[in-house]
Amino acid sequence: MPASSPADQEHTKLIKARLSYPIKQCRHCGFAAVVKNGFRKAYVHLPSLNGIHYELELWKQRYYCRQCQTTFGATTNLTTNNQTLSGQ
């Protein structure tokens, strides 16, 4: 098996980020007692630039409602709700 040259190898850069913002009420019941409940990791494939592939490791804040006892996460247009991989 021939060894691949460095020009044949793909270059990928990993960008790490956190997504968190204040929540005033539950998305399900509207109750105001919502608390932060950890993070969930999501991977987003970003467009390549100059032959370098970019991937975003996004830690999304999770929230817990004390009234209806449901959990939900921070949302962004980079990922689909309740998924950890982007469709890009």
Give the pLDDT confidence of 35-81 residue by residue, as tens digits. Answer: 999 999 988 888 888 888 899 999 999 999 999 999 999 988 877 66
Question: By C-alpha distance, which of 76, 71, 68, 67 is closest to 21?
Answer: 76
Model confidence at 86, in pLDDT bands (50, 70, 90)? low
Specify the DSSP class assigned to residue 8. T
User: Is 6 part of a structural domain of the chain?
Assistant: no
Task: Look at the block and give the residue holding tokens 């970019």.
Answer: 54
User: Is 78 part of a structural domain of the chain?
Assistant: no
Domain count for the chain: 1
- Give CA–CA dist 76/87, Å, rounded: 13
Burial class (CB in 10 A: 0-12, 13-18, 19+), 58: buried
Domain range for 20 is: 11-70
